[in-house]
Amino acid sequence: MIAMMIATAPVNIVAAAGGLLWRQSPRGPELAVVHRPRYNDWTLPKGKVQPGEGWLECALREVREETGFTAEVGSLVGCACYEAGGVLKVVRFWNMKPVGSPQPRSEAEVDALEWVTPQEALEMLSHEAERSLVKDSRQ
């Protein structure tokens, strides 16, 4: 499916990056998921790569903006590829851990943050590509 998408993709591909932000709790590992009112969906923190910005730099910035947490980077989880508005979007994700206390986050794009178990995330996330990443990266 991805090969077919790439073979028929328009010249413009949107690059984006994000993180699977994990913390330990008495329930075990928990993952941060965010709600975007613009799309009314639950998703992993992510966003578009800005001009002059690298993939990892973007992932760290987006996690900070959408969750309020500075993060420590772990392993590369993989990519989610999907079509958005007729354009192929490629999103690279890393496993991350929060560092310190959260700072105020942007509520314009994200109006809620929930810490959930991996199983809860699989039920909550709106996009199959992100559910697949969670399945592949269980902490």
pTM as predicted: 0.88
Cα dist from 54 to 13, 46, 60, 129, whole Å: 15, 14, 10, 22
Dist. CA 90–CA 1, nearest whole Å? 14
User: In the chain, what are the domains?
Assistant: 2-136 (3.90.79.10)
Pick from 64, 56, 8: nearest CA to 34: 64
Cβ atoms 105, 66 nearer than 8 A: yes
pLDDT for 95-123, tens place per residue?
999 999 999 887 888 999 999 999 999 99
Pick from 133, 64, 54: nearest CA to 93: 133
Dist. CA 83–CA 71, nearest whole Å? 28
pLDDT for 5-63, tens place per residue?
556 645 689 999 999 999 999 999 999 999 999 999 999 999 999 999 999 999 999 99
Cβ atoms 89, 130 nearer than 8 A: no
Cβ atoms 20, 44 nearer than 8 A: yes
